[in-house]
Structure 1
Amino acid sequence: MSEPIRLSKRVIELTGCSRREAELYIEGGWVTVNGVVIDEPQFKVLEHKVALLPNASPAPLASVTLLLNLPADMEANAVTLLSAASRWADDQTDIRPLKGHFTHLSSALPLQRQASGLLVFTQDWRTRRKLTDDAAKLEQEYVVEVAGTIAADGLERMRRGLRIKGQELPPAKVSWQNETHLRFPLKNPQPVQIVAMCEAVGLKVLSMKRIRIGGVPMGKLPAGQWRYLAAGERF
């Protein structure tokens, strides 16, 4: 062999499979080149040792959902943080990160404006539909750093439901986490709802972070890193 060829062609020669099956083997992370998994069918090989891992299957890559802890002021560039290098080292799933996991991702349930924290990116149409169709039912929890002195009845007013610029806001189970941080569990909040609620009772928002969507918490996921949604987790 004197000219490099595509890895997919070498897999065809090795297994006798079809071109599509060869691509599925490679994209599924089942093919090694000199002992290293390569998941790009167009990768060029020459005198390399190409092999299939045990239990290899030419099945389409399963759809995945990624949970990202977005740092402050990074919302416009969130997708740039999704790579194999930024996966959380303590991710408890046994999913192998593959190039195909970072394509055709869509986000759902945007953060409050200027907020950081939990963002969801998914390839799974069922997850996307759940987050879209059930947005009004899913509770989103934010931790909000505030400054100023809250009105004497401010907390109770937020719990009963505020009226802001002619709009009635539903009751909210707001509580103090500590002297400077409030917890806001809200269903389908408007883009600037938390800031408006705080200002209505004399508080200024310094920062806010979403820490949970439905039954899925962000937990100890570090800022700027992501993990896979585990099989048993449900929004």
Structure 2
Amino acid sequence: MSTQDEYDKERNSKKPGKNARKKSEARKIASAKPDTSKKNQGLPQNSAKPKLKFDKTGKEIGRRDKPIREIKKSNPEDGIRLNKYIGNSGVCSRREADTYIATGLVSVNGKIINEMGYKVKMTDDVRFDGRRLNPEPNTYVLLNKPKGFATTDSNAKGMTVMDLVANATTAKIKPFGRLGRNATGLLLFTNDDEFVQKFTNKGIARLFHIELDKNLKSEHLKKIKEGFSIDGNEITIEEISYVDNSPKSEVGLKIKHTGTSVIRTIFENLGYDVVRMDCVTLGPLTKKDLPRGRWRTLTEKELSMFSMI
């Protein structure tokens, strides 16, 4: 073997193999990566991360060691500030209400209130310059009442008309006028005290379709039309007539009384029993497109018609 051949053999034996080169490159990459182990960072091996607390929706509400601030919810039964009550009624702003309260123009349940921050309940009688205020928008609901429901807002009477309009509004409406439990037809609900007071005094003409236990004699029809007194009380009827194409036991009667007991009294005084009573019109309102047991809110046009009565 020549000297040159010996030299080449020795040089090739010193070159690293293919596997050796891969291991060397891997060691270089590994040494370049940062060491994130807890041991090299000086952290204890069993250290735990701070725990968080979450509400039912998954929202973070604070760290474990941080006290959570309790938010006190307002209770409607505690009442609302008097200036807010007045502001909600639309009379004036809250700032202006404070001025009126300070000058003695506001009373609560008959007592003048000058105290800033005074709280009132929704059931309190709050008056501004003598006028009763309502913190809710005026609401008017018309119901076509079915049989078997008492006209009252008392739960002690079993099924009431309030059950039928429970979903009509959040306003505290009450029935205006009355229909007996077995009477049917139109019944109005509102929270407008001025409306109630006005038409309680003036009355609203209501037309009833009445069925009697026997035919109504013509002389009795005439007597009712002319008006008469019962126990010293004058009974005035707007209109009365037989119903067209029906037996003479069925009559139409228009009256301005807000109740229906007077109607039964009229016929009982003449020897008749009322079998069925249905209110078909109430002032300018009719039962058109309002099925039995259903309700609807009055339109602006209908409310303007009441203002002309």
TM-score band w.r.t. shorter chain: 0.5 to 0.7
Give the whole-Å Cα distance in 2 for the aligned partners of 1:149 and 1:3. Answer: 73
SS at 2:277's partner residue?
A: strand
SS at 1:168's partner residue?
A: strand
Equivalent in 144, 162, 178 of residue 110 of structure 1: 178
Gaps of 5+ in 2: 1-52, 58-134, 151-156
User: What residue is the counterpart of 1:176 in the other structure?
Assistant: 242
Larger Rg: 2
Task: Using structure 2 for the length normalisation, give the TM-score.
Answer: 0.47
Q: Where do residues 148-227 of structure 1 align in structure 2 (5 Å cutoff)?
A: 148-177=214-243, 178-179=246-247, 180-188=249-257, 191-227=260-296
Q: CA RMSD in A?
A: 2.9
User: What residue is the counterpart of 1:70 in the other structure?
Assistant: 145
User: What residue is the counterpart of 2:115 in the other structure?
Assistant: none
Give the whole-Å Cα distance in 1 for the aligned partners of 2:189 and 2:233. Answer: 31
SS at 1:224's partner residue?
A: coil
Give the whole-Å Cα distance in 1 for the aligned partners of 2:196 and 2:215. Answer: 40
User: What residue is the counterpart of 2:80 in the other structure?
Assistant: none
Residue type of the alignment partner of 2:142: L
Q: Where do residues 51-90 of structure 1 align in structure 2 (5 Å cutoff)?
A: 62-75=137-150, 76=157, 77-84=160-167
TM-superposed deviation, 1:222: 1.2
Deviations 1:179-229 (A, max 9, x none): 142111011265422112223334321010112222222334111110111
TM-superposed deviation, 1:114: 4.1
**Are residues 61 and 159 of structure 1, via their aligned partners in 2, closer, same or farther at CA, if it must alter by over 3 Å?**
closer
SS at 1:121's partner residue?
A: strand
Deviations 1:35-79 (A, max 9, x none): xxxxxxxxxxxxxxxxxxxxxxxxx97432110111112025100
Give the whole-Å Cα distance in 2 for the aligned partners of 1:171 and 1:211. Answer: 16
**Are residues 172 and 129 of structure 1, via their aligned partners in 2, closer, same or farther at CA, if it must alter by over 3 Å?**
closer
Do the aligned residues in 2 keep the contact of 1:150 with 1:202 (CA within 8 Å)?
no
Give the whole-Å Cα distance in 1 for the aligned partners of 2:250 and 2:289. Answer: 18
Task: Using structure 1 for the length normalisation, give the TM-score.
Answer: 0.60
SS at 1:232's partner residue?
A: helix
Greater relative contact order (Cα < 8 A, sep 6+): 1
Give the structure with the higher percent helix.
2
Give the whole-Å Cα distance in 1 for the aligned partners of 2:277 and 2:240. Answer: 14
Gaps of 5+ in 1: 6-59, 85-96
Do the aligned residues in 2 keep the contact of 1:149 with 1:202 (CA within 8 Å)?
no
Do the aligned residues in 2 keep the contact of 1:151 with 1:201 (CA within 8 Å)?
no
After the TM superposition, list the runs of 4 or more consecutive aligned residues in structure 1 that deviate by more than 6 angstroms: none
Deviations 1:87-139 (A, max 9, x none): xxxxxxxxxx6xxx23311221222574222111113344334333432xx21
Give the whole-Å Cα distance in 1 for the aligned partners of 2:232 and 2:263. Answer: 16
Deviations 1:136-186 (A, max 9, x none): xx2121111112132341111111113333433224411111314211101
SS at 2:265's partner residue?
A: helix
Do the aligned residues in 2 keep the contact of 1:66 with 1:229 (CA within 8 Å)?
yes
**Are residues 124 and 169 of structure 1, via their aligned partners in 2, closer, same or farther at CA, if it must alter by over 3 Å?**
closer
